[in-house]
Amino acid sequence: MSPATTYPIRKMRFNCTGCGECCRKVGDIREYVNGEKGITVKEYLKVAMDTFPYETDEDGVCLMLDQETNKCVVYEDRPLLCNLARIYREYPEVAESEAKWYIHNMEVCNFMMKMAGTPARFIIKKAYLI
């Protein structure tokens, strides 16, 4: 057994690379939720999207994304849709395990980056235990 397997799963994470694609796709999230863009996600996202409090521009980019810094200006108080740890805490039924939850989201992030033509340096290589 490797040392990593002894850590609690609740510490599962992946490093956000700061590409901003999730913030740029908020306007399209209903299509992702409904599977129209090839990503199957759980019912909870419909609730998260319905309660998303911010507007997007005509391209679907969240207006809370600072275009100069590529950072969320409300990160510390971000909504449910934007907080993977909080989603799993509040809706643990979204995945068989926290590890699978983070791995799924890593795959979704990489899919969005690939579709957007994001440079390869932003691709998330692995989810890990901390």
DSSP one-letter string for 64-129: TEETTTTEETTGGG--GGG-HHHHHHH-GGGSSSHHHHHHHHHHHHHHHHHHHT--GGG----EEE
34 against 63, higher pLDDT: 63
The residue that leads in pLDDT, 95 or 37, is 95
Query: Of residues 80 and 51, which shows the higher confidence score?
Result: 80
CA atoms within 13 A on the CB side of 31: 9
* Mean pLDDT, residues 20-36: 70
| Residue with more model confidence, 59 or 47 | 59
Residue 48 reports pLDDT greater than 80: no
| pLDDT for res 64 | 96
The Cα angle at residue 85 between residues 114 and 50, in degrees rounded to 5? 75
Provide the mean pLDDT of the chain: 76
Overall pTM > 0.75: no
Q: What is the model's pLDDT at position 6? A: 39
Mean pLDDT of 12-29: 79
Strand partners, 128: 13
CA dist list (Å): 31 to 9, 12, 24, 67, 89: 30, 27, 14, 23, 25
- Residue 73: the pLDDT is 96
